[in-house]
Structure 1
Amino acid sequence: MNKHTTQPTSPGPTDERALWVMLLALLSGFALSQAFRTTTAILAQGLTAEFGLSAQSLGAFAGLFGLSFGVAQLLMGVGLDLYGLRRTVLTAFPLAIAGSALSALAPGYAGLMAGQLLIGMGCSPAFLACTLFIARHFPADRFAFISGVAMGVGGLGLLFTGTPLAWLVQHGGWRTGYAVLAGLSALSWLLIYLRVHEPPLRAAPAAQETWGQALRGFAELLLLPHTWGILLLGMSGYAAFLSLRGLWLAPLLMDRFHLTLVDSGNVALALSLIALFAPGLSGRLDPGTAKRRPWIANASLLMAALFVALALLRQHTGASVALILLMGLLSGYGVLQYADVRASYPPALTGRALSAFTMAMFLGVALMQWFTGIVATWAAQRGTDPHTAVMLAIAGWLALASMGFRWLPESPLVAAKNP
């Protein structure tokens, strides 16, 4: 994997413009990935009405994207190194197009699950390709900032699954939403095909690894003690935000406060607009390697506290919406986790470390969405508010992960930079 991780020197103005064009093309795929992973919150009512889904089934459906995305991440991470970003993305993304088309035509729950499986696999290299492109072709000291900008641009996909998708679903049904996503995904694939051509690396490549060597490299990564704290929080922070935005947001607003689907979509749109700029803001506020880990741990604990507050504000619509929007602003701290991963490993391990972290993020999404579906069903069976139980469960998960991240060993590379 180290053949792609050597840092180039700073590119000139013309080179940098070309790099940004290619990055933006790759980000179109990431934006569609963001849209796919947050559709369930808006589609939940229609899916439940047509197929009679329970909260547990809905959670399993939403979580399958993260599960297939996370499992495929291992293979995609190796593929990105062995075959390049362009070939890997162009090979995988048609699965997302096929999955969304299948979902639009699904005759039942099994068809929906099959479509979700394909979508997760097809989207799996989308953001990792962007992250590795930044790591390979932009200066190291701009990584956090450019990654934050990239996450913000990719957040445009979240805007679609706010008011626009809610309007489409209200007027054309949930199948129309999937059909439109299939068309947009095809356009993204074409854009990447036409625009992305990886520039040559400015260092002599090392001998290319085989699949077996690369997979052993992932196993070796897990033997490093500091990897576990990174992966533990990686499975929690983004999973908490995406479980709210991608699964429970509209059901909570509609069931607890009796908002319409379009009103809920408006809240989702506002949350997405904030999340669009939050990563870039966090990237600019990055305190540097020595202070970054305490910032990450404290931000995660604060997010847990906000989930507790949301659980308890059962009669206050305005305050609940304000809390949700504040969560969107705070969610930008995730970009600092990527910067922490990059700083925690030597260049030869950067690619596989970022891949392992991304895989952990989406496995965490799958587990949390599946788990909160079980929690909601359990609470409803006992006559308690399922949304309160779900928000408290997410808060507890985040708090435990934050403490684990703080207590488990940190990377020797990071520790060496602490005063």
Structure 2
Amino acid sequence: MPQFPVTVPASTSTHSRAQPLWVMLLALLSGFALSQSYRTITAIVAQGLQADFGLSAQSLGAFAGLFGLSFGVAQLLMGITMDRYGLRRTVLASAPLSIAGAALSALAPSHGWLMAGQLLIGIGCSPAFLACTVFIARHFPSERFAFFSGLSLGMGGLGLMLTGTPLAWVVQHWGWRTGFGILAVLSALSWLLIFALVHEPSLPGRAPHAQESWGDSLRGLAELLTLPHTWGILALGMSCYAAFLSLRGLWLGPLLMDRFGFSLVDSGNVALVLSLISLFAPGAFGRMDPGPLRRRAWVANASLLMAAMFAAMALLQQAGATVALMILLGLLWGFSVLQYTDVRASYPPELTGRALSLYTMSMFLGVALMQSATGAVAAWAAGRGIEPYLAVLLAIAGWLALASLAFRMLPASPLLRR
């Protein structure tokens, strides 16, 4: 197995001594972990927001979805800016927006200011995970991409852990505004860490100033949509992570508290267990990667099983069974690393960065759409005397099933059939 370089040549940076690649990756992952905290904090602060601003279920869904919407739309630009200006500059220029957004949310006098804070946070966090995946794709061996991507997704689970019991305890004692304040401080520390440690290695054979125009870069992204296999990838990309985030980041707390009478800390404990599982599940699936010919079947079957588990959670309506299914969903969600690996294998090397950028954009646009849509479904169900969580969970199950079918029916990349 080829060995990856462990340090950046001293000539690549005049600002600091050479840093091992894994140190730079960990610094970038600190930003990704915090983006995970921001996108799941709604489950912990939902009751406080409803009490202070009188938010309906639909407004709460729109609030949670705005992060994903702004995050996803910004992906159109982040992949291009990383190619033109580098990962470090892109992340350092964007991250202060998330710090400002968190501070604005902590001080928000009204729902409108709260939404403005979400918008800033989404844009500020938008390069966080893309920077990690592009860094891995550029500087680590291709045959280890699944492993290191899974490891990165797992490390991002530290951010999910923060919005479990720890932040639930803080919010229960000092309010939701304190929760946003803590995230603002941690985001500032992450920015300093990236500034101090991340200095990108030079890529062999790549002229440092050879850049496409913005128009050429945008046309390159659009050209991916003319490839038939892109649509199956995007359909499932907009669904699996969106389903997991809609549960973990929006509905977990309200569902457990309203349906079963859990306290905020009790629901935070469930979220913490789910987050602990997410530390290891992606890495485990990365190690089990069956290769390009069987990988798509694994992804299609896992997504259909995920849909069945959401349907079971909707219909059983028992506390123990619901918590068990949530934990199983956390384990199963690890297969998402195989989706990233499928994207990398489905395009030639010169399109990898654009393809990963487009796929990441689809993931978070899916999060925004699903969280907003399920908020509307919950409001519709409540108006007709139907339990909102029954309708929400069944809607997610149906969405996943249709996406899984589209992934199966639409063509695979010709590169996978060689």
Does 2:229 correspond to 1:236?
no
Return the offset for 1:201. 1.1
Count of aligned positions: 407
The partner residue of 1:292 within 282, 292, 295 is 295
Cα deviation code 1:17-72 (max 9, x no counterpart):
70000000000000000000000001000000000000000000000000000000
Return the offset for 1:286. 0.6
In 2, distance between residues paired with 1:210 and 1:380?
50
- Give the secondary-structure state (helix, strand or coil) at the position aligned to 2:104: helix
In 2, distance between residues paired with 1:29 and 1:14?
21
Return the offset for 1:10. 3.7
Match of 1:11 in 2: 4
The partner residue of 1:25 within 21, 24, 27 is 27
- Give the secondary-structure state (helix, strand or coil) at the position aligned to 2:20: helix
Match of 2:414 in 1: 412
Match of 1:4 in 2: none
Match of 1:130 in 2: 132
- Give the secondary-structure state (helix, strand or coil) at the position aligned to 2:262: coil
The partner residue of 1:42 within 44, 48, 51 is 44
- 1:2-401 alignment to 2 at 5 Å? 10-14=3-7, 18-205=20-207, 207-314=210-317, 316-401=318-403
Match of 2:11 in 1: none
Contact 2:161 2:272 in 1 (8 A): yes
In 2, distance between residues paired with 1:317 and 1:395?
19
Contact 2:307 2:398 in 1 (8 A): yes
- Give the secondary-structure state (helix, strand or coil) at the position aligned to 1:155: helix
Match of 2:13 in 1: none
In 1, distance between residues paired with 2:3 and 2:366?
35
- Cα-Cα RMSD: 1.1
In 2, distance between residues paired with 1:284 and 1:17?
26
Cα deviation code 1:169-226 (max 9, x no counterpart):
0000000000000000000000000000001112233831111110000111100110
Return the offset for 1:318. 1.0
Q: TM-score, normalised by structure 2?
A: 0.96
In 2, distance between residues paired with 1:386 and 1:263?
21
Change (3 A) 1:31 1:401: same
- Give the secondary-structure state (helix, strand or coil) at the position aligned to 1:62: helix
In 1, distance between residues paired with 2:335 and 2:34?
22
Return the offset for 1:319. 1.2
In 2, distance between residues paired with 1:37 and 1:203?
38
- Give the secondary-structure state (helix, strand or coil) at the position aligned to 1:99: helix
For 2:177, give the aligned amino acid.
Answer: R
Contact 2:19 2:197 in 1 (8 A): no
- Give the secondary-structure state (helix, strand or coil) at the position aligned to 1:400: helix
In 2, distance between residues paired with 1:204 and 1:124?
26
